[in-house]
Amino acid sequence: MDFQDLSFTNAPLIKVNPPGPRSKDYLNYQSSREGSAVSYPKGMPMALRRAKGATVEDVDGNIYIDFFGGAGVMMVGHSNPEVIQAARDQLAELTHALDFPNPSRRKLVEALSEVLPDGLDRVFFGGPTGSDAVETAAKLARYNTGRYPMIAFEGSYHGMTAGALSLSSGLFFKEDFLPLLPEVHFVPYAYCYRCPFSKRPETCDLDCAKYLDHILEDPHSGVGKPAAVIVESIQGEGGSIVPPEGFIPKIREICDKHEVLMIDDEIQAGLCRTGKMFACDHTNTIPDIMTMSKALGGVGFPISCVAYKEKLDTWPAGKHIGTFRSNVVACAAGAAALNFMVENKLAEYALNLGAKMLSMFKELEKDSKIVGEARGKGLMLGVELVKDKATKEPAPELAKRVRTLCHQRGLLIEIGGHYFNVARFLPPLVLTKELAKKGIEIFADSIRDVENYR
Ligand SMILES: Cc1ncc(COP(=O)(O)O)c(C=O)c1O
């Protein structure tokens, strides 16, 4: 299928250098009344008017190519007509139902059952955000094992609520709030560009995964036997990091060996983003518990869910609750979005388009003095910026300048990574080849300009 009609056909279109006068008015009002932690409008100053497919329009009439996708939510494209119709139909019928069964909830569970890895037979809806799903998963693991410690990975991001934040590695988000939950330990992820063991992926024999085995085995590692290991099968906020093929299966093997549960956080990488329905499908690894959110609500309706093995379904009724345990409109939209993904083979499309885009970013890596590494899978891509390719000194300031230039030229991108030096691309999966090419040209020009005038 050609997704051309889903986006604005005239993108990118910059009528007035952003932020234009209308945007400025909104931004000024926002900063006069809202809290100082508001962040995205500080990196890409504009107010939004509407969005379609893989394009976004601001209130001044500028139209951008969207490589940001609402932080990875918008798989089926902004305002996807099939999803909007399903949401509209639901709005007219029923909008709030706690956890009472209803037709849209059932449709979503049925649609999920078709695509979830074998053995993840139970789904449970907690609060509406990804963080809520992570809290649920950790609590479920602790309840079932009777153990408290948890292991997470360097570079992880699992959310902002106390438990999820404890499992996230970024100190920027939590250093002023420590201590959070005790007994959370971090181990190295397979971040091969900056391997903490100074190894090469071709010859390392997965020393990073083996380190997890070591701390679980050694009575003097200082780490109590955990309830679970939580991992992103492909890391998102950590900088679009794709581990070598054996890494995730090895984590599974180590968890089994030590009888520790494995939680796979698919909130960002799941639902076709990386070219498979779930990132763990790339290695046929089945976790004990999986978290989902972001694209699960179709076009940004908030909802989250955990899927887990039948044997873990031990909670008595009411053990984990919340007022917004799956929003009905989000269920209707999510079911329609899953249908759209399957019918349009969106995972396959993302895999192919992502491979083409990655090869263009790899060209840039060869030519540019500030591109340390281009990487990713499907349409979860990233370009890590450095001051010097030999020393790999991170270049967060250059990343910010590239983002600003991209914005001014009609392209929206995200910044992430350990050092906030990775330009991240999470476009709607209905991005056309033409928009992809134009977007990469804008990015490449911006890189060249930043490189030449730094
Ligand atoms: C892998 C992962 N887990 C959890 C979260 C937290 O989700 P939310 O922001 O909806 O709480 C995110 C958000 O970016 C994420 O990428």
Give the pLDDT confidence score for residue 224 in this predicted structure: 96
- Out of 75, 158, 173, mutate this one to test ligand 1's pocket (max ligand atoms within 8 Å of CB): namely 158
- CA–CA gap between residue 292 and residue 304 (Å, rounded): 6
Between the two ends of the chain, the Cα-to-Cα distance in Å is 42
Specify the pairing of strand 63-66 against strand 411-412. Answer: parallel
Q: 185 C-alpha to center of ligand 1: Å?
A: 19
The single residue listed with the structure tokens 């990469």 is 440
Angle made by CA atoms 37, 427, 448, in degrees to the nearest 5? 85
Q: What is the pLDDT along the chain (454 residues), one digit of tens a residue?
A: 679 999 999 999 999 999 999 999 999 999 999 999 999 999 999 999 999 999 999 999 999 999 999 999 999 999 999 999 999 999 999 999 999 999 999 999 999 999 999 999 999 999 999 999 999 999 999 999 999 999 999 999 999 999 999 999 999 999 988 889 999 999 999 999 999 999 999 999 999 999 999 999 999 999 999 999 999 999 999 999 999 999 999 999 999 999 999 999 999 999 999 999 999 999 999 999 999 999 999 999 999 999 999 999 999 999 999 999 999 999 999 999 999 999 999 999 999 999 999 999 999 999 999 999 999 999 999 999 999 999 999 999 999 999 999 999 999 999 999 999 999 999 999 999 999 999 999 999 999 999 998 7
Helix ranges, 116-261 (H): 130-145, 162-166, 171-174, 207-217, 247-257
Q: How far is CA 242 from the centre of its chain?
A: 13
Nearest CA to ligand 1 atom 7: 130
Atom of ligand 1 nearest to the CA of 236: 16
Tokens coding 284: 């046929």
> For residues 207 and 215, is the Cβ–Cβ distance under 8 A?
no
Supply the pTM of this predicted model.
Answer: 0.98
SS3 353: helix
Q: Which residues pair with 48 in a beta bridge?
A: 58
Cis amide bond preceding 19, omega within 30: yes
Q: 74-111: buried (b, 16+ CB within 10 Å) or exposed (e) per residue?
A: bbbbbbbebbeebbeebeeeeeeeeeeebebbebbbeb
Tokens representing 395 are: 């270049």
Among protein residues, the one with the nearest Cα to ligand 1's atom 8 is 130
What distances in angstroms separate CA 376 from CA 274, 354, 383, 392, 451, one per listed residue?
Answer: 8, 8, 9, 19, 23
DSSP code for 50: E
Cα of 266 vs centre of ligand 1, distance in Å, is 9
For residue 390, the one-letter residue type is A
266 and 311 Cβ atoms separated by less than 8 Å: no
State how far the Cα of 237 lies from the Cα of 313, in Å rounded to an integer: 30
Per-residue model confidence as pLDDT tens digits over 164-191? 999 999 999 999 888 899 999 999 999 9
Cα separation, 296 vs 301, whole angstroms:
8
| Long-range contacts, stretch 107-115, CB < 8 angstroms, 24+ apart | 107/331, 107/332, 107/335, 108/326, 108/331, 108/332, 108/334, 108/335, 108/338, 110/335, 111/334, 111/335, 111/338, 111/339, 112/305, 112/307, 112/338, 114/338, 114/342, 115/277, 115/278, 115/338, 115/342
Residue list, ligand 1 pocket, CB within 6 Å: 71, 129-131, 134, 157-160, 232, 236-237, 265, 267-268, 293
Tokens read off for 369: 């003095």
d(CA 221, CA 234): 27
CA–CA separation, 294 vs 292, rounded Å? Answer: 7
Amino acid at 451: E
The CA distance from 59 to 236, in Å, is 30
Q: Ligand 1, atom 6: nearest CA belongs to which residue?
A: 159
pLDDT for position 1 = 60
Atom index in ligand 1 nearest the CA of residue 132 equals 11
With the most atoms of ligand 1 within 8 angstroms of its CB, the residue from 75, 125, 132, 157 to mutate is: 157
Strand pairing report for 228-231 and 261-265 = parallel
Report the separation in Å between the CA atom of 341 and the middle of ligand 1, taken as the mean of its atom positions.
Answer: 21
